[in-house]
């Protein structure tokens, strides 16, 4: 194998994406660090990740079978030689355990201790004469340690949550580690077999036509295939196999091109679907606002006497009595000097409170005592407009008799008559039309 390849093992996209994820993560940490809450979030995330990783690794260290000079010495010796060739400072701790086909291998680092976990479905291949393939999988994980991917991933965690960006960096790292593994194992064929084995299993991989498998890059394409890979931390296996073939054997590997037409169409359609969904949500919200479904509920809560929902400040005992139609208390409070035209924090007068409660008797007492029938609350409504909007013909007629102005228009340009007509209170509208 050409030794000059050693200088080209790092996939070019890895450095590009690393710069992007590092910049994003640094900016995120700086923004979080300017506040106490942000610093607390960073500390909690770090401590939580360390704790969870330590808990997971403790189970692996105790339950997994650790390779050593006494445990599978031949394969351990090959792994040690590969680690030395990669110039790792020491041989990572290598554990083998059963995963029930869920995983094949991974590398990790815990308190300056490098560890590689190899699952038994892969490790068993060594007993079938596929030592080089098993060594490729281990060397791939060694490469993650050599390139400090494990350490870097813990530092760029914010960027890894960004759609497309974090996964793009991870995929580039996988390409790099495939190159490293194939180079240091010194067997391109073993590398191809190992990647094929990840696709179909340890029994059938020798029977797979690898050239036909790679051609699925052209035959199996489309928007969802493209999106699936872009959201994944690993490239699709035919793509990894093809990338390795082009790197180590470009002369004999035909050029394969993924179809982009369906992808572009899918992206365009998805873009317009998102726009349509956004417009539909906006339209639905605007229609709800026009129906005053939210404002009506707020209106009812505003004038709840208990004040438990949305308390109104400045409510006087006289307002309370007016809302409850307590004419005796109204007269007593007026005699004691209560201001008959006082307003609360929402500019609602005592007469407004009587109208809110549809209380004809309370309104009569207040009007006889000189209450102003044309006061305006925070919604720009007079007692007459409120009575008309509520469909109360008796209160409307009473207010008109005491001089309420039927021509007054609120900020929307509506009169009491307009509200009566809009809500279908024809008897109220007739009173206002005749006045």
pTM of the complete model: 0.58
Element (H, E) at 116: strand 113-119
pLDDT at 306 over 60: no
Chain-centre distance for alpha carbon 370: 60
pLDDT at 100 over 60: no
- Yes or no: say if 352 and 386 are a contact pair by the CB < 8 Å rule: yes
* pLDDT tier, 169 (very low <50, low <70, confident <90, very high otherwise): very high
What is the reported pLDDT for 121?
72
What residues does each domain of the chain span? 3-259, 264-291, 295-434
Chain-centre distance for alpha carbon 345: 40
Q: Residues 262-284: what's their mean pLDDT? A: 82
Q: Residues 122-129: what's their mean pLDDT? A: 76
Q: Residues 120-131: what's their mean pLDDT? A: 76
Chain-centre distance for alpha carbon 226: 21
What DSSP designation does 340 have? T
| Residue 190 or residue 115, greater confidence | 190
Query: Using alpha carbons only, how large is the chain's radius of gyration in Å?
Result: 38
What is the reported pLDDT for 104?
65
Q: Residues 221-250: what's their mean pLDDT? A: 89
CA distance 212 to 162: 35
Element (H, E) at 300: helix 293-302
Question: Which of the residue ranges 58-67, 72-81, 242-251 would you say has the lowest mean pLDDT?
Answer: 58-67
* CATH number, domain 295-434: 1.25.40.20
For 336-369, write each residue's pLDDT tens digit: 989 999 999 889 999 999 999 999 999 999 999 9
In 147-260, alpha helices (H)? 149-155, 157-160, 165-185, 188-200, 210-214, 216-219, 223-230, 237-248
From residue 387, alpha-carbon distances to 149, 364, 398 in Å are 72, 14, 10
pLDDT at 333 over 70: yes
CA distance 398 to 1: 103
From residue 356, alpha-carbon distances to 299, 377, 413 in Å are 10, 12, 22
């Amino acid at each position: 194998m050409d030794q000059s390849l050693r200088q080209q093992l790092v996939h070019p996209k890895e450095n590009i994406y690393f710069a992007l994820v590092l910049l994003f993560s640094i900016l995120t940490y700086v923004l979080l660090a300017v506040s106490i809450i942000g610093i607390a979030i960073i500390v909690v995330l770090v401590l939580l990740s360390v704790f969870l990783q330590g808990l997971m690794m403790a189970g692996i260290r105790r339950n997994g079978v650790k390779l050593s000079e006494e445990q599978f010495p031949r394969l351990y010796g090959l792994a040690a030689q590969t680690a030395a060739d990669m110039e790792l400072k020491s041989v990572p701790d290598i554990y083998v355990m059963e995963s029930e086909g869920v995983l094949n291998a991974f590398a990790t680092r815990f308190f300056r201790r490098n560890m590689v976990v190899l699952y038994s479905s892969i490790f068993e291949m060594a007993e079938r004469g596929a030592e080089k393939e098993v060594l490729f999988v281990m060397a791939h994980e060694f490469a993650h340690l050599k390139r400090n991917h494990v350490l870097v991933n813990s530092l760029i965690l914010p960027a890894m949550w960004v759609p497309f960006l974090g996964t793009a960096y991870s995929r580039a790292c996988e390409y790099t580690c495939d190159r490293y593994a194939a180079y240091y194992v010194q067997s391109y064929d073993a590398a191809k077999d190992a990647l094929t084995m990840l696709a179909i299993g340890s029994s059938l991989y020798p029977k797979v036509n690898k050239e036909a498998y790679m051609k699925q890059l052209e035959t199996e394409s489309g928007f969802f295939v493209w999106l699936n890979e872009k959201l994944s931390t690993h490239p699709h296996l035919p793509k990894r196999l093809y990338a390795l073939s082009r790197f180590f054997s470009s002369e004999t590997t035909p050029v394969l091109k993924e179809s982009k037409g369906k992808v572009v169409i899918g992206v365009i359609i998805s873009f317009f679907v998102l726009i349509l969904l956004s417009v539909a949500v906006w339209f639905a919200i605007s229609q709800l606002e026009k129906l005053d479904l939210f404002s009506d509920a707020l209106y009812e809560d505003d004038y709840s006497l208990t004040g438990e929902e949305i308390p109104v400040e400045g409510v006087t005992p006289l307002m309370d009595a007016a809302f409850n139609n307590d004419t005796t208390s109204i007269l007593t409070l007026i005699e004691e000097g209560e201001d008959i035209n006082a307003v609360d924090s929402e500019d609602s007068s005592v007469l407004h409170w009587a109208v809110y409660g549809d209380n004809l008797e309370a309104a009569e007492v207040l009007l006889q005592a000189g209450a102003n029938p044309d006061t305006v609350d925070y919604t720009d409504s007079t007692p007459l407009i409120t009575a008309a909007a509520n469909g109360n013909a008796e209160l409307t007629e009473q207010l008109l008799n005491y001089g309420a102005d039927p021509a007054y228009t609120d900020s929307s340009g509506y009169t009491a008559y307009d509200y009566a007509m809009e809500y279908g209170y024809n008897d109220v509208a007739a009173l206002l039309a005749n006045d």
